[in-house]
Structure 1
């Protein structure tokens, strides 16, 4: 009596000889592929461009994904910081980088910024201009619009609270010193640091920046709350009113 073959076995055997199945087996045996190496050895085993390959996914017609990853990194000066600080507009027009990939890269960059800011906030002690400037550059340095941010500190200069007091441009932003003073009193702050970013990258303070700083400093002083600094933040540099002797 002839041996009965399972229909499932027949399907598997038939599929085993197809080019598609052979390709799957070949890919499954490729320990050199970034995804397989990451899962086996961890992400630290991959180079920068291999990690970018995983973010980009598969290639698109006419553009090998490995070439696209290398070209993207070179476009930003082989700097991961430059890549993570890029806006969606910076990616547009780059060969092989469409809207879906732009969204994926931007989302990963924002997650990285938020995680770093969260960690920095937990450990933040405002004991030097450099410490607060590093934190502010991380939080608002790459925003494409102007943000006015306030850090509320206790007597030991530990961070009590922080908030974005306004958005827009400083000449149009509704920054109300009385609201900042009210918030400072409600959280029992002993001191404040305020900051705003300049999306243009130029960090020299304007006449309006100086005027607002004086008004806010004097309003806080009425309640024995010190304005420690006003920091103007760019993507790569900052300007400190305290360090410049303007407070």
Structure 2
């Protein structure tokens, strides 16, 4: 069994005033005939000129802007605040949204976070953690639907978007195989190997055996670099060459090997397999 260690680059990736209500239970006291009831004191006027807008109004502002200007006009924090809906008691939803973005550094990293990471933050309970994970899975499935019944060689952008969301933010290396039929349509997407931050063992013979089992005519393979850098290492190049040659022995074409970063992608096919 051939074992090739696929090692990535180690370069760094780089309220206003409160409304004074009239006290309840204050009315007229009868002390005998002719005594008139004392009028209840008028409530003082309310002014928010020098204070912040009420919390409910602040929450509605992004929704109003979304309706009038569209979602693209909103910041990441505003969109996240709309999604969260409200903060937990004592936690303003806008502060929670900003905390999420600051904690994870990017939307991609936030969407790749685990439940425990969400629940460790103040203002995020189990319900909101589940909601954030559901949004990520919906996005992945929507991108996967874009790959169905279409020749993947005609949709390289959709393939790369899907893979970036699937493995681009993982904290460890993952090797993915997209098995295709004779018309280059997706048969199955599978995780073939998982490694550490800097090392992963990939077995070409096992990938070939799986391709034959699925009756695949071709495949696209991909792995991520947790560092964010997408320049392939010497091990990446050696793995690509061996995998391509091994698949050719059983007449299965390797269409591409993609190295996935958080923002960029390297394609061996586009670079002449070098």
Classify the TM-score, shorter chain.
0.5 to 0.7
- Give the conservation status (yes or no) of the 8 Å contact 1:190–1:224: yes
What TM-score do you get using the length of structure 2 for normalisation? 0.61
The residue correspondences of 1:56-135 to structure 2 (distance < 5 A) are: 57-61=86-90, 63-69=91-97, 72=100, 83-84=110-111, 96-98=122-124, 100=126, 103-104=129-130, 106-128=132-154, 129-135=156-162
Does the C-alpha gap of structure 1 residues 67 and 107 become closer, same or farther in structure 2, counting only changes over 3 Å? same
Question: For residues 203 and 32 of structure 1, do their structure 2 counterparts lie closer, same or farther at Cα, with a shift above 3 Å needed?
Answer: closer
2:248 corresponds in structure 1 to 221
Instruction: Give CA-to-partner distance per residue, 1:128-186, whole Å, 9 cap, x none.
Output: 44343222212221222211011111222111222110111487534211111111112
Partner of 1:149: 176
Does residue 236 in structure 1 map to residue 267 in structure 2?
no
1:117–1:139 Cα contact (<8 Å) kept: no
**C-alpha contact 1:125 1:157 (8 A) present in aligned 2:** yes
Provide the alpha-carbon RMSD of the alignment: 3.9
Deviation of 1:50 (Å): 6.2
Structure 1 residues 90 and 237: alpha-carbon distance in aligned structure 2, compared to 1, 3 A threshold: farther
Structure scoring higher RCO (CA < 8 A, sep ≥ 6) equals 2
User: Does the 8 Å CA contact 2:187/2:216 hold for their aligned counterparts?
Assistant: yes
**What residue is the counterpart of 1:168 in the other structure?**
195
SS of equivalent residue, structure 2 residue 140: helix
Aligned match of 1:196? 223
Bigger helix share: 1
Q: 1:226 to 1:234 in 2, by over 3 A?
A: same
How many residue pairs match? The answer is 211
The Cα shift of 1:80 comes to: 5.5
Computing the radius of gyration from Cα coordinates, the structure with the larger value is 2
Q: Which runs of 5+ in 1 are unaligned?
A: 1-16, 18-29
Asked whether the 8 Å contact 1:88–1:102 carries over to 2, the reply is no
Change (3 A) 1:199 1:116: farther
